[in-house]
């Protein structure tokens, strides 16, 4: 059974981790459906390349974000507010971090803590700001809730 793909025209989507891999593919899928896309990534160069490659008549943007830094996430949303009168109504967290393969017995605790911080704890930070958008009536999802779906 085919899934219906409605138009996202007029919607602003933010994709964290959009500078490569699955995040870049999500950016393309959103743009294909008519959304204006903000590609946010720790690598502004990678985000810029993805944003420049997106299809459609919309003006897509690339912005830097370090999801491990709460102030960087706030700066991301402030920057979006400076160029868009409409709020972001789609937020996709598609960032992740992995260390080169290291046998468990050789994994340093700080390396383990860094992976846990980025891949688990930090996932909720961008949603803190997104929830306030919904509570203030500025955005919505089909049922007015945020859904947590990771790439893994």
Residue 24 DSSP one-character state: H
Instruction: For residue range 20-47, list pLDDT tens digits in order.
Output: 999 999 999 999 999 999 999 999 999 9
**Helices 21-32, 44-53: inter-axial angle, 10-degree rounding:** 30
pLDDT attached to residue 93 = 85
Highest CATH level, class, for 12-96+123-135: alpha beta
- Residue spans of the domains in the chain: they are 12-96+123-135
pLDDT attached to residue 148 = 46
Instruction: For residue range 74-114, list pLDDT tens digits in order.
Output: 899 889 989 988 888 888 888 776 667 777 788 788 877 77
**Distances in Å between the alpha carbon of 41 and those of 27, 46, 118, 151?**
12, 7, 13, 15
Pair 26, 18: CB distance under 8 Å: yes
pLDDT band at 125 (very low <50, low <70, confident <90, very high): low
């Amino acid at each position: 059974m085919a899934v219906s793909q409605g138009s996202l025209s007029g919607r602003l989507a933010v994709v964290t981790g959009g500078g490569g891999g699955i995040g870049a593919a999500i950016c393309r899928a959103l743009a294909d459906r008519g959304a204006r896309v903000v590609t946010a990534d720790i690598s502004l160069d990678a985000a810029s390349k993805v944003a420049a490659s997106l299809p459609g008549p919309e003006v897509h943007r690339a912005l830097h974000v370090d999801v491990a830094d709460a102030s960087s996430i706030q700066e991301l949303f402030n920057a979006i507010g400076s160029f868009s009168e409409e709020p972001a109504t789609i937020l996709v967290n598609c960032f992740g971090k992995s260390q080169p393969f290291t046998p468990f017995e050789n994994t340093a605790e700080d390396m383990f803590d860094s992976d846990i911080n980025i891949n688990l704890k930090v996932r909720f930070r961008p949603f803190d700001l997104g929830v306030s958008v919904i509570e203030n009536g500025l955005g919505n999802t089909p049922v007015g809730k945020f859904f947590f779906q990771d790439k893994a």
